[in-house]
Amino acid sequence: MFKKVTTGAVALAIVSTLQIAPVSAQETLYVPLLTYRTGPFAGGGIPIANGSADYYAMLNERDGGIGGLKIVTEECETSYNSQKGVECYEATKGNGALVYNPYSTGITLQLIPKAPVDEIPVLSMGYGLSAVAVGEKFPWTFNYPASYWDQMSSIISFIDTQDGGIKGKKVGFIYLDVGYGKEPIPLLESLSESMGFEVVKFPVAGKEMQTQSSHWLNVRKENPDWMIMWGWGAMNPTAIKEAAKIKYPMDHFIGNWWSGADVDLKPAGEAGKGYRSANMAASGTHFQALQDVIKYVVEPGNSQADPDTVGSVLYNRGLYNSVVVAEAIRTAQEIAGHANITGAEMRAGLEALDLTAERLAELGLADFTAPIKATCENHGSGGSIFMQQWDGSKWVRTSDLIAPMTDLVRAELEAAADQYVSDKPNWKTQSCN
Amino acid sequence: MSSDQSTQTADGRTIGGPIMEVKDISLKFGGVTAIKNISFDINEGEIRAIIGPNGAGKTSMLNVINGFYHPQEGQIVFRGEARTAMRPYVAASQGISRTFQNVALFEGMSTLDNIMAGRTLKMKKNFFWQMLRFGPAEVEEFEHRKVVEEIIDFLEIQAIRKTPVGRLPYGLQKRVELGRALAAEPSLLLLDEPMAGMNVEEKEDMSRFILDVNDQFGTTIALIEHDMGVVMDIADRVVVLDYGQKIADGLPAEVQANQDVIDAYLGVAH
Amino acid sequence: MTSATLAAQLDTIPKLLARNATTFGEKPASREKEFGIWQSWNWAEVHANVEEIALGMLAIGVKAGDHIVIVGKNRPALYWSMVAAQSVGAVPVPLYQDAVAEEMAYTLDHCGAKFVIVENQEQVDKIFEIPGQTESIKKVMYLDPRGLRKYDHRNLHSFEDIRTLGKEDQSRLQSMLAERQKVQNYDTTCVMLYTSGTTGKPKGVVLSNRNIIESAKSSSEFDDLKVGDSVLAYLPMAWVGDFIFSIGQCYWAGFCVSCPESEETMQNDLREIGPSYFFAPPRFFETVLTAVMIRMEDASKTKRRMFKFFMDVAKKVGPDLLVGKPVGFMDRLKYRLGTILVYGPLKNRMGMTRVRVGYTAGEAIGPEIFEFYRSLGINLKQLYGQTEASVFITLQPDGEVRPDTVGVPGPGVEIKIDDDGEVHYRSPGVFIEYFKNPESTASTKDPDGWVATGDAGFIEDDTGHLRIIDRAKDVGKMADGSLFAPKYVENKLKFYPNILEAVVFGADTDSCTAFINIDISAVGNWAERNNIAYGSYQELAGHERVLDVISGHVKEVNQSIASDPMLSGCQVHRFLVLHKELDADDGEMTRTRKVRRRIIGEKYNDLIKALTDGSKEIFTETEVTYEDGRKGSISATLQIRDVEVVARKAKAA
Amino acid sequence: MIYRETGQFKTNYKADNSIFPILQDRIAIIFYLFVAFIVIPAFGSDFFINSMMIPFLIFALAAIGLNILTGFTGQISLGTGAFMGVGAYSCYKLVTIFPDTNVIFLIVISGFFSAAIGMVFGLPSLRIKGFYLVVTTLAAQFFLEWCFIRIEWLYNYNTSGAIEVPRREVFNVIVTGPEAAAVTQYLVVLSIVVAMTWIASNLIHGRIGRSWMMIRDMDIAAELMGVRPLYAKLSAFAVSSFYAGVAGAMMVFMWLGAAEVESFDVNHSFLILFMVIIGGLGSIKGSFLGAAFIWMLPVVLRAFPKALGLDVPVATVEHVNFMIIGGLIIFFLIIEPNGLARIWALLKQKLRVWPFPY
Amino acid sequence: MDLLYDIFADPFVQMAGMPDFFVQVLWEGFVTGTLYALIALGFVLIFKASGVFNFAQGIMVVFAALTLVGLYQAGVPALLALVLSLGVMGTLAVSVERLVLRHLVNQPDIILFMATIGLSYFLIGFGEFIFGGETKSMITSELGLPTGSSVVDFAGGIVIFQHIDIAAVVIAGILVTSLALFFSKSRIGRALRAVADDHQAALSVGISLNQIWVIVWFAAGIVALATGIMWGARSDVSFALQIVALKALPVLILGGFTSVPGAIVGGLIIGFGEKIFEVYWGGLLGGGVEGWFAYVIALIFLLFRPQGLFGEKIIERI
């Protein structure tokens, strides 16, 4: 009898796995969305997920999809957890997934080696492994507009323009002590050598995100001239509040683009005034594309997003991600000559992506972000960022685009890519000549 | 131990010289004295009873003997070796085995496993063989199983062989516990109130088993008992404790006639 | 090889053993649950063991013709001892292990046994308790040394010692053994068994090798018993049935006899062994059925409903399927489903999954009980037998099984009914004599070899089946001259699970009356379910509502009896429920739990009087014997109930 | 009902002592093994094998490990996640230091490192009992987690701080790395889990297992029976950590392909403790049942609304998932605190005494 | 030698060199310790009265805070939200008693412990289901709690006191005092103590165990809400905070499971200890030692005093 129960359960499980599959039968563009609307990072995950999903929904409503094919999205909850992320990947990859945006460096690292095997490209937009920007070594992985190293170099360039240069200064680096946070350290260290500034590191373990008083006591002890933050989730608002508590000068505190969302600064409010962060896409709803999203998706009630959050930093970032994917699909369809593309064809589209300023304007996103041009060699590096500053209640863009130190970064990236590939026999590379 | 000291009892058992001597033992817990200056000996092959009213320090005495409590003063000579304190498992490895006042069986295990547990010290096969469980470890296991089965047979508990001990009635649990202690093939068996909480019939059974153990295997037995009547029937010699002190020591009849003992017991009755 | 030469060669049990050891050497012969596992011996090993014991017996001076008394529970070593005794020319005399010292003293004295083999200390104590016996008995041998270490060992030997003694002097004794065996033949005494004796002192029934082997042979053939079958030996060794099954048929057919570990574990051991050939008295089947029903009462509603549904199906078609009669497809399907859901598991729980041939005998079995087992697909049959006949008189052949008959005469058995209705038989199994009791021998067995069974019965004209009514001497006449068959009525009463025992009185009176013993487990269970509180057997037995229930049963019995014109006079008019259980210790029953009518009649004279004189209740005081032998008395006021009877029809001509 | 035990008797101790004394159980086990080794590899989808079977088996192994410590020896531990991590990091180091050695061998070897660390953190158990021990194992958990981040040597100074599984072949079959086929990895995991389950069961049924249970049931009596608490407790910690270590190594090498410290965090310790408790303390079968329940239920629950064609936001599903799991844990504890294994046993008992209720 | 200097001398040199900073560290340790003590207090309340080791206490802290903020975000005025949150905690206490504890009477401790872990899972799911999973900020000023800070000049430097921290300490003090008064003066309080000492005795004087459970769980809920507000004001409200709640374990080990003063002392020891160790020694180990320091301290402590700071020496009896 019990045997029956167990076999029944197994059968149910098998059936239920089959149930996931039926999508692939029709001609659609299937884009799985690995999202995290729960867990400690849900605060960031939710607007990104909404922005992503809403743009695709808008395209379906407004244009009937891309190239005449509807985009089918499927959300899979990862809770920012690598295991669940891999599970989501396994669950969805068989349905004809075109591309993955893991939105977690941890999950990205897991997917990088799987991408060439399953022939589904991974686009880790502004996160993940910096070295994947080296297209020869990582044919299946993309991280434009810019890698963390680009971003770091841009931030350092920015600092170098302030207060008489960076030379001889002490720069504190506070980061979430996981793969994501540690990613820029090699570049930071090599820059500190070449540019002559001192680096002090303040790692914040994942579970200490909300209790940073010791870290900031240490910051006070070390008293660096500048603070750079690679934070995410609940780490950001806590850090900003703690910085305010020790009366750290806010305008010398710069976050990367994952440390500059509205939700990060709202709790600190006035106390966070002056805090800067990098960003890659503008916030606000004044773009035509966003107006379309509001018109076609949000107002009819087809969005999970709270209308107030539409146009926020992270919502727009999620939307930007979808814009890039949509453009890559369009490019891929052009290259392939048919609409119903595969993962491999999608890869070609991502590699051939050329998102010019004109195209951006066409899309209703003029000045939304810097143009992107991918090549075979360059899968992501080189995008510029801009600085935004918190004025006590909202973000204000305060700088022009700041270009990364491309040459320097490229060299570092190649070294890192070589190192990554070196201990992996049979690693698939590509030649770009 | 030496044969020249041995005597023959009326019923044909051989009793040797002292196997254990307890010398001037004192035990304190914090400020409370549990045992004060107690000395006595246990002869090989005899049934030695330690009696006394509640709180007389009987169980503490037993705990000292098998190393669970470490006395502040005095020493214990076991088989010619003197020591003041030892770990309980050392005592066990020397051949001292015991039962408990409140049954201390391994509740999650069956009768069989509980008695097998008593064989722990006798089993030698190492981790590797245990891991594979065929070959030497298995052979060893079955050799010991045989011994254990004989004990089960001896104690007439075949019907509960595979029953988890937690489900057994109290009387049977006590019997299983005796079996577990026997499985160690002890040279000195300590029984802590083996008949506590039993009805008359169970007490008679248990007395029979104790006598049979002593008779069949020649095991030296030291037992604590609250009920004087039973003790007088089965013990060869009796030592009486009261308030942590020894008040009498001798043959059952002598002890029974001792005025101090009578007072101590009457005192309890008040 | 013709059967004559075969018989010539295989004319003693030891010779059968020798044959088995060569023919079935590797096949299991004996098993015993000991030390947690089923210790097993094959025929070759059994042969070796028996020889060892036999040599030991020679070594301590056992002479041909000596009686060797064997007391203990069913154990291979004791069975071997019997065969070993036979090999040295001695006569094994198994006794009931629960016999009290006086009973044992009588038999020891009667057969003049010089050697006793006992199981353990308990039996040794009994023997040493017998005054004056220590001198006449030369040696006592015991199996289990437990507690015997400090006994005086001059006349006491452990079994192992005996074996050692035999081995020490093997060469000399071996030839002696061969000598002894040479002179044995078909007519040598095989065994002497004491009948429990419903009345008077036990009588020693002498059975020859011919009696045993012929009976075993014909009955084995009757049911096709062979190597590979297995039985569980749990009935007393002193009972002829056990001897036939566990020695006679076993040695003839070469099947395996398994001995349970202890009394408490018997049910479990039965389940483990799963015998293919099974004998039990009706009481056993009754108890098991009662237990089944009680346990099913506690089952969930759906389960009970399912159980009832399938039991109805089984009742309808089970017996037919068992004998291969045609059955409708739907019924067959339902039965198949029932086998999966109910019958199979039930048989499994009862340990009867593998039972191929099952017998019950000794007393009448309730038709419901009988049908219950048969409907499950267990081939339960009835036989009729006696110690004096080496068991078999009649048996039910497959396909002719009915609850109300005891079957047709076994192979080689002749039957006749005398004028008083008493059944007589003549067969190769007919005993030689009652030991040291020529008068009884003569009164039982006539010169032509016909033996009176003491039972009244008749042979059905159409089928040739024998039907037993009652003990011949108990079948009496009522005052109006109509037939009085108390046992017949008692059995009908006892078929109710609530009624454990019944004693019916009515000889030479106007109407029948009865004593009833309730079944404490069945009634107790019923009481619990109906929220009836009770503190003791006595209290429960005197409870109004219990009496109501019993009254209902009696009424139903009356209706059933009334349908048989010959016996309709036996309807029970008044009854009372006894305040104590009838007990062998009080002499009210035999050790085999047969009612001792006369003794009861004397003991409860006052109650019988009250039953007949119409009083509503009666105060009584009764002496009882406790387990440890002490005596006491209990008193009670018993209610007497009147029961409706069916008016007598005109007597058939 | 399906149990027909009549006629199943044991004539020697080997048979009597066997782990599955009942014929029907043996048949069932053979059936399960047949399904596991033949049917699932032949018919299971990649998702089913990769996301359900492999993690289920790995967690079952870890649960067996924890069960040895908690269920059989009575020492509660919340450090399993970290001990799994020790196994994973050791395996990673071994695989990169000895690139040519059979990776399956190295996975097993890495268990020894974990065992050693486990013994170190098991030392306090000689003095500390119950909830107090929970704290010491938490200390192990957090300290080791910190080590996995701070000691960069452990992850070969990889900038991401993650360990990535390189491609390794055994007998020319790719066993680890992204190219490895799910079925291959599944079969490797299955074989290791089956072998180690067998070993665990052997240990538990022998002297060592008995001494663990003695310590669990009544440590004082155990000591007086001659069990040395030091040996018994430390061996339990060692074996338990060994199992956790191998499970951890397999988790990274056979399932995730790469891991950061978060794969070994305290939530995993909890997860595995759940498996043990829900499955049943002191039962190997329970470890499997618990792992299946805790791991597969969410997967099934997640697929459920979709299967029904409901459009429920994933977040809601996840929240409800948490509520259901939490609720079920309480529910199970209430109806049967001894876990699924006990329910299984009761059910089996029901079948054995069928049609009777007891 | 350098290493020895770094370990044994340098930290003290730093302390002496920057006394203002050292005082700041002590203050931070004190505030953190107070909050640890508050969480531990919730544990102790429940453990003392019912013997249940309530693992969910940490989650209750977050759940309470989340309820408060969630209600406010849903448009309920702050103070009303506070009252309603209290009501929710009361309902929670009743439900826990009705649905969980009542059915688990007489089960072993480990089972009750596991049940509270199950409860934590449920509360996480339930909290996020109702109020959403994103991080929320505490409505500090709306509740009338101070937000500013005071800078005090000290020994040539400054020490910064956050007003919310001061408020936290004051509120913790009030809470502990009122609980102590409640326990010693009120009838129910005395009943609770009776239960703590002897369940049977409590039953015999006619106190319903079920009521007592509701009361202690409610009390623990109030403590959780207070703790949640304070923690929430310091960082933010999300279930990531639960890891902080685990710190209550070593605090309890130091202080003992049943002692209210123990919880406070233990909390302060851990609070001071980990801040000082992290700031002055943490760098030697690469930082981030706070995550395990408390546990290791508890572990080392246990090795020498298995019965805890305030526990009595255990005499084992057989």
Sketch the domain layout of chain D as residue ranges.
44-265
Residue in C closest to B144 by C-alpha: C35
Is the Cβ pair A210, E238 closer than 8 Å? yes
Q: Do the domain assignments include residue A296?
A: yes
From A3, A17, A203, residue closest to D303, measured CB to CB: A17
CA-derived radius of gyration, chain A:
22
Judge whether residue A390 has pLDDT over 80. yes
Predicted confidence band of residue D201 (pLDDT cuts 50, 70, 90): very high
Residue in E closest to D320 by C-alpha: E125
Convert the pLDDT of each residue in A260-302 to its tens digit: 888 888 878 888 899 999 998 888 889 999 999 999 999 998 8
Tokens linked to E68: 């408060």
Give, in order, the Cα–Cα distances in Å from E31 to each of A239, E60, E66.
Answer: 17, 20, 22
Look at residues A255, A174, A190 and name the one whose alpha carbon lies nearest to residue A411: A190
> What are the φ and ψ backbone dihedral angles of C34, each rounded to 5 degrees?
-145, 145
Which homologous superfamily is C3-258 in? ANL, N-terminal domain (3.40.50.12780)
Residue A167 shares a structural domain with residue A227: yes
D204 vs chain C: nearest CA distance in angstroms? Answer: 21
Predicted confidence band of residue C400 (pLDDT cuts 50, 70, 90): confident
Find out whether E149 and E161 touch, Cβ atoms under 8 Å: yes
- DSSP per-residue string spanning C176-191: HHHHHHHT--TTSEEE
Is the Cβ pair C35, B150 closer than 8 Å? yes
Find out whether C85 and C68 touch, Cβ atoms under 8 Å: yes
Is the Cβ pair D262, A18 closer than 8 Å? no
Predicted confidence at residue A18, as pLDDT, reads: 42
From E25, E137, E291, residue closest to A217, measured CB to CB: E25
What's the N-to-C CA distance of chain D in angstroms? 13
Predicted confidence band of residue E314 (pLDDT cuts 50, 70, 90): low
Predicted confidence at residue C130, as pLDDT, reads: 80
Mean pLDDT value of segment E233-255: 78
Predicted confidence band of residue E311 (pLDDT cuts 50, 70, 90): low
Looking at A18-32, B92-106, C341-355, which range is the least confident one? A18-32
Residue A176 shares a structural domain with residue A270: yes
Is the Cβ pair E318, B29 closer than 8 Å? no
Q: Do the domain assignments include residue E313?
A: no
Query: Which chains, if any, share at least 3 CB pairs under 8 A with chain C?
Result: B, D
Look at residues A193, A191, A192, A217 and name the one whose alpha carbon lies nearest to residue A204: A217
Predicted confidence at residue E234, as pLDDT, reads: 78
Look at residues A229, A251, A246 and name the one whose alpha carbon lies nearest to residue A391: A251
**Can you tell me the distance from the alpha carbon of B237 to that of A194, in angstroms, rounded to the nearest whole number?**
94
Residue A69 shares a structural domain with residue A93: yes
B265 contact partners, CB below 8 Å, separation of at least 6:
B53, B228
From E129, E257, E299, residue closest to D316, measured CB to CB: E129
- DSSP per-residue string spanning B177-214: HHHHHHHT--SEEEEESTTTT--HHHHHHHHHHHHHHH
* Crossing angle of helices C76-87 and C13-23, rounded to 10°: 120
Predicted confidence at residue A19, as pLDDT, reads: 41
Predicted confidence at residue A57, as pLDDT, reads: 93
When the pLDDT of each residue in chain A is averaged and rounded to a whole number, the result is 86
CA-derived radius of gyration, chain D:
21
Mean pLDDT value of segment E163-180: 88
User: At A159, which helix (H) or strand (E)?
Assistant: helix A148-160
**Can you tell me the distance from the alpha carbon of D222 to that of D69, in angstroms, rounded to the nearest whole number?**
16
User: What domains does chain B contain, in order, with CATH numbers?
Assistant: 7-95+193-270 (3.40.50.300), 103-185 (no CATH)
Angle at D13 between CA D279 and CA C236, to 5 degrees: 110
Identical fold for domains C3-258 and C382-473, yes or no, is: no
Query: Strand A198-204 to strand A170-176: parallel, antiparallel, or no bridges (unpaired)?
Result: parallel
User: At C631, which helix (H) or strand (E)?
Assistant: strand C631-642
Domains in chain C: boundaries: 3-258, 280-378, 382-473, 476-642
Give, in order, the Cα–Cα distances in Å from D302 to each of A84, A93, C182, E124, E306.
Answer: 12, 17, 86, 17, 45
- Amino acid occupying residue A93: K
**Can you tell me the distance from the alpha carbon of E189 to that of B249, in angstroms, rounded to the nearest whole number?**
54
Looking at A384-398, B36-50, C186-200, which range is the least confident one? C186-200
Is the Cβ pair D217, B105 closer than 8 Å? yes
Q: Do the domain assignments include residue E25?
A: yes
Query: Which chains, if any, share at least 3 CB pairs under 8 A with chain E?
Result: A, B, D
Predicted confidence at residue C496, as pLDDT, reads: 84
- DSSP per-residue string spanning D15-38: HHH-S--SHHHHHHHHHHHHIIII
Is the Cβ pair D207, B125 closer than 8 Å? yes
Judge whether residue C243 has pLDDT over 80. yes
Q: Which residue has the tokens 């919310």?
A: E164
Look at residues C526, C513, C421 and name the one whose alpha carbon lies nearest to residue C474: C421
Looking at A78-82, D68-72, E196-200, which range is the least confident one? E196-200
Residue A201 shares a structural domain with residue A259: yes
Predicted confidence band of residue C569 (pLDDT cuts 50, 70, 90): confident
Predicted confidence band of residue E318 (pLDDT cuts 50, 70, 90): low
Domain total of chain A: 2
CATH number of the domain that residue E202 is part of: 1.10.3470
Judge whether residue C550 has pLDDT over 80. yes
CA C509 from chain center: how many Å?
A: 33
The CATH number that domain C476-642 falls under is 3.30.300.30
CA C389 from chain center: how many Å?
A: 15
**Can you tell me the distance from the alpha carbon of C85 to that of C117, in angstroms, rounded to the nearest whole number?**
10
Mean pLDDT value of segment A340-348: 90
**CB-based touch E/A (3+ pairs, under 8 A):** yes
CATH number of the domain that residue A264 is part of: 3.40.50.2300
Residue A277 shares a structural domain with residue A130: no
Is the Cβ pair A42, E235 closer than 8 Å? no
Mutation for testing the E interface, residue in A48, A199, A214, A238 having most E CBs under 10 Å: A214
Query: Which chains, if any, share at least 3 CB pairs under 8 A with chain D?
Result: A, B, C, E
CATH architecture of the domain formed by C382-473: Roll (2.30)
pLDDT in tens, chain B (270 residues): 444 457 777 676 778 888 899 989 998 887 788 888 999 999 998 999 998 887 788 888 888 888 888 888 888 888 888 877 788 888 888 889 999 888 889 988 899 999 999 888 888 888 888 888 778 888 888 899 999 999 998 898 988 998 999 889 988 999 999 999 999 999 999 999 888 888 888 888 899 899 889 888 889 999 998 777 788 888 999 999 888 889 889 888 888 888 888 888 766 443
Is the Cβ pair D355, C299 closer than 8 Å? yes
Mean pLDDT value of segment D160-168: 82
Predicted confidence at residue A60, as pLDDT, reads: 93
Predicted confidence band of residue C197 (pLDDT cuts 50, 70, 90): low
From E313, E316, E318, residue closest to B100, measured CB to CB: E318
**Percent of chain C scoring above 70 in pLDDT:** 96
B257 touches E at CB < 8 Å: no
Q: Do the domain assignments include residue A17?
A: no
**Can you tell me the distance from the alpha carbon of E238 to that of E222, in angstroms, rounded to the nearest whole number?**
18
Judge whether residue C198 has pLDDT over 60. no
Mean pLDDT value of segment C436-462: 86
A249 vs chain E: nearest CA distance in angstroms? Answer: 15
Judge whether residue E270 has pLDDT over 60. yes
Find out whether D257 and A86 touch, Cβ atoms under 8 Å: yes
E40 vs chain B: nearest CA distance in angstroms? Answer: 31
Secondary structure of residue C534 in the 3-state scheme: coil
Predicted confidence band of residue D156 (pLDDT cuts 50, 70, 90): confident
Query: Strand A122-123 to strand A71-77: parallel, antiparallel, or no bridges (unpaired)?
Result: unpaired
ipTM over the 0.90 cut-off: no
Residue A86 shares a structural domain with residue A132: yes
* Cis peptide, bond prior to residue A145, ω within 30 of zero: yes
B109 contact partners, CB below 8 Å, separation of at least 6:
B117, B164, B165, D210, D213, D214, D217
Judge whether residue D160 has pLDDT over 80. no
Convert the pLDDT of each residue in C576-624 to its tens digit: 998 888 888 788 888 777 788 888 888 888 888 888 888 888 888 888 8
Is the Cβ pair D260, A90 closer than 8 Å? no
Secondary structure of residue D186 in the 3-state scheme: helix
Predicted confidence at residue A15, as pLDDT, reads: 43
Q: Residue C636: which region, alpha, beta or left (left: phi > 0; alpha: psi -120 to 50)?
A: beta
**Can you tell me the distance from the alpha carbon of C49 to that of C52, in angstroms, rounded to the nearest whole number?**
5
Residues of the domain holding E83 = 2-304
DSSP state of A134: B
Find out whether A213 and E275 touch, Cβ atoms under 8 Å: yes
Residue A317 shares a structural domain with residue A249: no
Is the Cβ pair B101, E315 closer than 8 Å? no
Is the Cβ pair E121, D325 closer than 8 Å? yes
Is the Cβ pair C36, B158 closer than 8 Å? yes
Judge whether residue A312 has pLDDT over 70. yes
Domain total of chain E: 1
Query: Strand C572-577 to strand C512-518: parallel, antiparallel, or no bridges (unpaired)?
Result: parallel
Find out whether A103 and A77 touch, Cβ atoms under 8 Å: no
**CB-based touch D/C (3+ pairs, under 8 A):** yes
Mean pLDDT value of segment E283-297: 82
Residue in B closest to D200 by C-alpha: B131
**CB-based touch C/E (3+ pairs, under 8 A):** no
Judge whether residue D33 has pLDDT over 90. yes
Residue A117 shares a structural domain with residue A243: no
Predicted confidence at residue C652, as pLDDT, reads: 38
C69 contact partners, CB below 8 Å, separation of at least 6:
C93, C94, C95, C107, C108, C111, C113, C115, C116, C117
Predicted confidence at residue C169, as pLDDT, reads: 87
Please list every residue in chain E whose beta carbon sits closer than 8 Å to the beta carbon of residue B100: 318
Compute the Cα dihedral for A352, A355, A358, A361 and give only its sign.
positive
Is the Cβ pair B212, C34 closer than 8 Å? no
What's the N-to-C CA distance of chain C in angstroms? 57
Q: Which residues of D touch C (CB under 8 A)?
A: 1, 3-13, 15-16, 353-358
**Can you tell me the distance from the alpha carbon of C234 to that of C252, in angstroms, rounded to the nearest whole number?**
20
Query: Which chains, if any, share at least 3 CB pairs under 8 A with chain A?
Result: D, E
3-state secondary structure C307-355: HHHHHHHHHHHHHHHHCCCCCCHHHHHHHHHHHHHHHHHHHHHHCCCCC
E314 vs chain B: nearest CA distance in angstroms? Answer: 11
Report for A41-45, A75-79, C38-42, C201-205: range of highest mean pLDDT: C38-42
Find out whether A246 and E271 touch, Cβ atoms under 8 Å: no
Is the Cβ pair E287, A247 closer than 8 Å? no
Mean pLDDT value of segment D237-265: 91
CA C150 from chain center: how many Å?
A: 37
> What are the φ and ψ backbone dihedral angles of D19, each rounded to 5 degrees?
-70, -30
Residue A295 shares a structural domain with residue A365: yes
Residue in E closest to D275 by C-alpha: E114
Q: Which residue has the tokens 């599903």?
A: D317
**Can you tell me the distance from the alpha carbon of D220 to that of D224, in angstroms, rounded to the nearest whole number?**
6
Mean pLDDT value of segment C468-493: 80
D139 touches E at CB < 8 Å: yes
